Amino acid sequence: MKRFFGPTSFTALLAGVVFGIGLTLSGMTQPAKVIGFLDLFGNWDPSLAFVMGGAVIVHALTRPLVLRRTQPIAAASFRLPNLTAIDGRLVAGASLFGLGWGLVGICPGPGIVGLGSGDSYFLVFFPAMLVGMLIHGRLAARPSPSAEPGA
Amino acid sequence: MSEYWLPLAGGALIGLAATMLMLFNGRVAGISGITEGVLNFKSDESHWQIAFLLGLVAAGLALFRVMPDAFTLGIERDLWVIVLGGLTVGFGTRLGSGCTSGHGVCGLSRFSSRSLVATLVFMGVAIVTVALTHQTLGAGQ
């Protein structure tokens, strides 16, 4: 806890604010808009395709520049995802996530940003999401050899 | 045309934020993973993870003052549907090690085939879910 007010917290806070502004401007905090984007066989609203498109283009272009450095600016080392397995866990997990996302139109990021609006929709979704994560933590066979950091 | 360029600009900011977290902290901006990290608490990563989530909430608090329309629900859902949605999103993103940010943005940006499969699966299932349930659950306005 003593490191809470250190530089890595400050830079993470900054990244979180920028991420949150991006999610809000893009429309991801509007469940009806998200569901409209997912309503491919109904009244499809393609606009949110530009969110992932814009994010991937910017990140794919700038990430390699960052990784030329030997270490990050505020931390000791880069921690990069090392899992490559395409297995049942991945597919089952992504399926469950897709089910929930389709039901309510909120994924984790907008679910957290939306708390700032005070709307009961978000105030119910967020704790339920935490409980889902806790249940997974309980059921998961003790520490898998290499947890994917921050994925 | 703001219908398209706002999502594009917002998306660009998301990509930029992911790069910021990599540049300064050396960490992947996967929101479900960061949230789980905070829940576990024990790790020595917790301090920056809490700060990142606080940043997300702060952005929401501030922008709700300026542009409350950005938080328009536009749909109605029964309480149990919202709870079920939250439970499956929380459980599923941890079982599958990632969500829209970790797999969809960060994973696709590094051309991970694992993340590509995850993204196609959750998008596909979400599309089918909406096709099957949206009319029943209520389309809202």
- The ipTM of this complex is 0.95
Give how far A112 is from chain B: nearest CA, Å.
Answer: 6
Kindly state the percentage of chain B with pLDDT values over 70.
95
What's chain B's average pLDDT? 93
Q: Which residue of chain B has the CA closest to A3?
A: B47
| pLDDT score at B70 | 97
Confidence tier at B1 by pLDDT (50, 70, 90) = low
Confidence tier at B21 by pLDDT (50, 70, 90) = very high
| pLDDT score at A151 | 47
Taking the Cβ of residue A28 and every Cβ of chain B, the question of whether any pair is shorter than 8 Å is answered with yes
Q: Which residues of chain B does A22 touch, with a Cβ-Cβ cutoff of 8 Å?
A: 10-17
Rounded CA-CA distance A125/A106 in Å is: 8
Instruction: Give residue-wise pLDDT tens across range A26-67.
Output: 999 999 999 999 999 999 999 999 999 999 999 999 999 999
| Residues B97, A119: C-beta atoms closer than 8 Å | no
Side chain identity, residue B96: G
Give how far A110 is from chain B: nearest CA, Å.
Answer: 9
Q: Which residues of chain B does A96 touch, with a Cβ-Cβ cutoff of 8 Å?
A: 88-89, 91-92, 95-96
Side chain identity, residue B82: I
How confident is the model over B90-114, as a mean pLDDT? 96
Rounded CA-CA distance B66/B101 in Å is: 25
Tokens representing B121?
A: 């699966």
Taking the Cβ of residue A128 and every Cβ of chain B, the question of whether any pair is shorter than 8 Å is answered with yes
| Residues A128, B129: C-beta atoms closer than 8 Å | no
Instruction: State yes or no: pLDDT of A141 exceeds 80.
Output: no
Q: Which of B4, B42, B50, B52 to mutate to test the interface with A (most CBs of A within 10 A)?
A: B52
The SS3 assignment for B2 reads helix
Q: Which of B85, B87, B119 is CA-nearest to residue B101? A: B119
Confidence tier at B141 by pLDDT (50, 70, 90) = very low
How confident is the model over B4-16, as a mean pLDDT? 96
Rounded CA-CA distance A86/B14 in Å is: 26
Give how far B66 is from chain A: nearest CA, Å.
Answer: 11
Domain ranges of chain B: 2-137
Please tell me what DSSP assigns to residue A151: -
